[in-house]
Chains A and B, each alone.
Chain A
Amino acid sequence: MGKMPAITIEKGYLEILDALGSVNAIVEDAIRKYLIDKCVERIEKSKRKIEELEKKYDCNYTEFIETISNEESLKAVEEKKSSWELDITEWEYWEKELEEWKMRLEDILMKS
């Protein structure tokens, strides 16, 4: 097992934490709560961004990839959205983000 990283806690906080119980357990719980909040925040942001793009193209990401894989249907897209490449670069980004932050959240919740 690798060396566990050390963190510095302000002396004043440490005295209070000591009085409340195990400092390690309290810090670990606080970090866990922070990470859960962060995961939820990122999942919500990714979903919001994906919804904007789904609305713009009237389909989901998988359907859009299928559409642009065919030259005829790609032409139809370009008649309405001539620079879709700007959006697909961003769309892929938020799809990956959503997937990964969901997995991180699942991992944290499984450990509890």
Chain B
Amino acid sequence: MEDEIRRHFDEIIEDASTALEDVEIEQDYSVKRALLKIGGSLGNLKVRITEVIDENKRKYAYYLINKDLVMIGFDNAPDIRALKIKYGKDYGHHLDERIPHFHGKEKKSIELTKEISSKEFLEKVKSLKEH
């Protein structure tokens, strides 16, 4: 399994290194899980990628940040606001559940999404930069 994860992380690193400047990478491989953290910049904007493969489950957070403010963010953390959108009043029974979702500028909006890959995130970031 480790080889497969390494290949997956190598692809993310390659994509990030092509799309971003000043790329910094941190990786950790263990028995049951692996961690990848990437930081980089795109002009004045900062890009941060954190991905964990934990017993075949993918946990991710991909953010575009301007100074300390979120421009856009995709993640599947168990965010209470995403849980409320998905489950309404029953959200309390799902507090540990990971929900893929999107945060808009300054986190003033949130919407549920499909699972997003880092490649899709980087493409979105590049298109935002071009416009």
A69-B95, A74-B80, A90-B50 known; A85-B31 Cβ under 8 A: no
Band of interface residues on A: 20 to 34
Greatest chain A CB density within 10 A among B70, B77, B106, B107 is at B77
Instruction: Specify the main secondary structure of chain B where it touches its partner.
Output: strand
Q: Assess the B75–A85 pair: CB atoms within 8 A.
A: yes
Min CB distance, B3 to chain A, in Å? 19
Among the stretches A13-21, A54-62, A93-101, the one at the interface with B is A93-101
Verify if A86 is at the interface (C-beta below 8 Å from B). Answer: yes
Instruction: Judge whether B107 and A78 touch: CB under 8 Å.
Output: yes
Are A93 and B35 within 8 A (Cβ)? Answer: yes
Chain A CB within 8 A of B52 CB: yes
The CA-CA distance from A71 to B75 in the complex, in Å, is 17
Residues of chain A touching chain B, judged by Cβ–Cβ distance below 8 Å, are 42, 68-71, 74, 78, 82-83, 85-90, 92-93, 96-97, 100
> Closest 8 interchain pairs by CB?
A85-B61, A85-B75, A85-B77, A86-B61, A83-B63, A86-B50, A89-B50, A82-B70
Q: List 17 A-B contacts (CB under 8 A).
A: A68-B79, A69-B80, A70-B80, A71-B80, A82-B69, A82-B70, A83-B48, A85-B61, A85-B63, A86-B48, A86-B63, A89-B52, A89-B60, A89-B77, A90-B50, A90-B52, A100-B32
